[in-house]
A and B are shown apart, each in its own frame.
Chain A
Amino acid sequence: MQFLQLIISGVSQGCIYGLIALGFVLIYKGTETVSFAQGELMMLGAFGGLACMTLMGFPFWLAVLSAIAGMALFGMVLERAVIRPILGQPAFSIVMLTIGVGYTARGLITMIPGIGTETYVLPVPYKDEIWTLGALVVNVEQFAIIAATAVLCALLFVLFKYSKLGIAMQASSQNQLAAYYMGIPVQRLNGLVWGLAAAVAAIAGLLLAPITFVHANMGFIGLKAFPAAVVGGFSSLPGAIVGGLVIGLVESFSGFYLPDGFKDVAAYVVVLIMLMIKPNGLFGEKLRKKV
């Protein structure tokens, strides 16, 4: 039972990593840039949900939807305002830019007087409920994470497999110039990709908030999602979720069976091993330019 319990907590934690990693992968696939602000977007999403629920007094579902929609809009505005002007510059400039965005977001949230430095509990209806299945105890919060991730994955799969929009996104991710020649509005798609990634980050934030707390530094969990994205292969959407699950499980087991301290670095050890053995990740595409 101990074992199953560990698996469940690992999977639910892994789903969070997977969802944040999904944001990285969406952006990487769509625009071939790496966003270091993903964790901060998640934090903003959680704060947005909190503001909707407590300050404005929205009902739960309306608050969740408006937080997600708000973050999607924020993602698009962000892309338009700061990412698009430097598109085509070396990848590193965009990395630094997103680090800057993350810093600014964290700093500005901390600066809100009386709110930014506190920690909050997100008032969700399923807070502290527990299901018991035989000897197994499942937090509803953990179950909600797993279920929401599964639904989101299915939606994204359908989007990328069957919709015109998703196929256009895939085309522009493979070759922007060629996609442009085919009449695909690459710039508008990039905006949509950022919006989508921000929305996914907001969902991750809203799911994570009941387990941990809402505070300005919760975005640092985004740094653990990088290993998830790398393990899954940076350019594969299902890979991101699988990578997240791997990292979550490894963390959960090493926290229980290995001495103190291994839990915090387990994710990074896994990613280093992964980079040594299979640099393209579990599901990464291996492409090579022939000269």
Chain B
Amino acid sequence: MRFLFKTDYRQDIGLAKHPGHVFWYSLLALLLLAAPWLIAEYWLAQLTFVLIYAIAGLGLMLLAGFTGLFSLGHAAFLGVGAYAQAVLVGAGWPFPLALACAAGLSAAAGLVVGLPALRVKGIYLGMATLSFGFIVEEVFARWESVTGGNAGMHVKAPTLFGWSLASGEAFYFLCLTITVVATLGMLNLLRAPTGRAFVAIRDSEISAQSMGIHLARYKTLSFALSAALAGIAGALYAHKLQFISPDQFNILQSIDLLLMIVIGGLGSVHGVFLGAIFLITMPQAISLVKDYLPAVIGQAPGLQAAVYGLVLIAFVLFEPMGLYGRWLKIRAYLQLFPFYRKGMFKRQKSFQKSDRLK
């Protein structure tokens, strides 16, 4: 067991709580830096997708996990970023400027969607974002002069200050840098007053309001930040796939993003990454197992949807804190070795509180 002796207030808000953190995260950073030389190209591409989804997941986690606002149309922000990037890079803009514009446009879209969030909550907000998602998807499909319609459009490879980032390795490092910056930014935000305000709003709007938190400002800010992160992820997604079409940003993508943060663990930054790894490796795992199953099950087209659904049900029922929650339990078990009790993480039974009364 580890005992922390705090001698300074800074330790309370420090990102690394103890030397163990420093060691393990440095090791992770080294491994990620060495990844292009350690793993095959195919897996590097998958790792890049994990990073891209993690950026989008950070945005959604900020909104859903930390501010308590649920978006069922987050793929729309991803799409706005992707199309903005594709169009701007296609028009010859430099990559960083286009990326900033993509993030900005997404954030602006987020602001617009955030406006209903000031008046409605819970399921109504879900409806608003869902509707927005459908409308944006239709716009992508119909605004053919810009987006190429349902035929989709090609995306040029990014270049940064004259270097081409077309190769898998270079693009991986680009994604890694952006992910690290986004993660550190998010962690920093969460220990700052703004992040604390978000969490306060999540836990109780009334108490947050009475403590002087301007609900409207923080809710729209959360939406804008979340959408900006999704926009950046969308821009990278467009570059990675080199081809985008409206159906990549439909409701199923939005649900995938939600599934990612729920399975990873709602309300934890670790959960985003665990969820992203799950989302990317799951189809691979299914296709690996397929060959060992009888053909009736293994070759059936609906297998993936069924497995996703069952996994989601299982997590909500048995592990509401997601993969990260499972890790917390294992860690607590190891740390307290003989003293771990069964009921330590038990959920409290409660009667449902009415959502209809604001």
Contacts and interface: CB of A to CB of B under 8 A. Distances in A.
A223 B303 CA distance: 22
Contact of B316 (A93, A113, A271): A93
B142 interface: yes
B131 A99 contact: no
Given A227-B127, A275-B119, A104 B70 contact: no
Contacts of B351: 88, 176-177, 180
A93 B301 CA distance: 27
Contacts of A180: 351
B356 A93 contact: no
- Please classify the interface of chain A as helix (H, G, I), strand (E, B), loop, or mixed, using the class held by over half of its residues: helix
Contacts of A113: 296, 300
Given A235-B356, A289-B357, A105 B309 contact: yes
Interface string A227-244: 100100011000000000
Interface stretch (A130-138, A150-158, A204-212, A261-269): A261-269
A87 B306 contact: no
A107 B306 contact: yes
Interface residues of A, number: 63
B317 A272 contact: no
A41 to B, nearest CB: 14
A220 B124 CA distance: 19
Given A103-B309, A223-B130, A275 B141 contact: no
Interface stretch (B13-21, B132-140, B221-229): B132-140
B127 A82 contact: no
A54 interface: no
Interface in A83-103: 85-89, 91-97, 99-103
A6 interface: no
A28 to B, nearest CB: 8
Contacts of A268: 130-132, 134-135
A101 B313 contact: yes
A163 interface: no
10 contacts: A96-B258, A96-B312, A103-B306, A104-B310, A106-B309, A108-B306, A223-B130, A230-B127, A268-B132, A287-B356
